[in-house]
């Protein structure tokens, strides 16, 4: 019997054999929700297209008038956050927990800015998005260095 919390591979340290940007394998799809997420999350070329669209949206948001720009920024930030949180749930990739939570908080912040009718960051929400990304990559690098894998697994 296998532990469904641990990605199923023949290695002790999942994610340690691949390159820096290699995702660990998904955890066992032992529920309907997990199988749906596995089908919905973009992989391969579709993942690059998805995050390319996120980058375009984040970049374009600063060129638009204030409220439409904040709305576009909040939308694409929330989409990126959702992807990362679901991806973390399925494979425990270290940077995904930081980007997932960080971008969710940023999307809530941008939504609050829309309600206020002005940008509290002087239209630098895209910079905040990148700061979260850099922090997440740094966290994953430190995690990998300490644990020899990019997989976050907490042992009971």
List of the chain residues with pLDDT < 50: 1-19
Burial 74-102 (b: 16+ CB within 10 A, else e): bebbbbbbebbbbbbbbbbbbbbbbbbbb
Model confidence, pTM: 0.84
pLDDT number for residue 22: 61
pLDDT, position 29: 84
Cα dihedral 146, 28, 26, 58 in deg (nearest 10): -110
Give Cβ neighbours of residue 120 (< 8 Å, ≥ 6 apart).
109, 113
Task: Determine the pLDDT at residue 25.
Answer: 77
- The per-residue pLDDT for range 95-130, each reduced to its tens digit, is 999 999 999 999 999 999 999 999 999 999 999 999
Instruction: Provide CB contacts within 8 A for 136, sequence distance 6+.
Output: 95, 96, 98, 99, 102
- Distance from C-alpha of 15 to C-alpha of 30, rounded to nearest angstrom: 21
Give the C-alpha separation, 119 to 73, whole Å: 12
Question: What is the predicted pLDDT for the residue at 40?
Answer: 93
């Amino acid at each position: 019997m296998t532990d469904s919390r641990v990605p199923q591979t023949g290695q002790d340290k999942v994610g340690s054999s691949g390159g820096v940007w290699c995702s660990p394998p998904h955890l066992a799809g032992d529920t309907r929700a997990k199988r749906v997420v596995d089908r919905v999350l973009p992989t391969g070329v579709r993942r690059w297209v998805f995050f390319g669209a996120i980058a375009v949206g984040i970049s374009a948001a600063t060129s638009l008038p204030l409220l439409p720009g904040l709305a576009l920024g909040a939308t694409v930030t929330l989409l990126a956050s959702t992807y990362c949180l679901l991806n973390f749930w399925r494979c425990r990739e270290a940077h995904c927990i930081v980007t997932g939570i960080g971008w969710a908080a940023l999307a809530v912040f941008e939504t609050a800015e829309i309600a206020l009718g002005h940008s509290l960051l002087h239209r630098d929400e895209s910079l905040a998005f990148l700061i979260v990304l850099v922090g997440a990559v740094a966290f994953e690098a430190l995690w990998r260095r300490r644990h020899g894998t990019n997989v976050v697994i907490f042992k009971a």
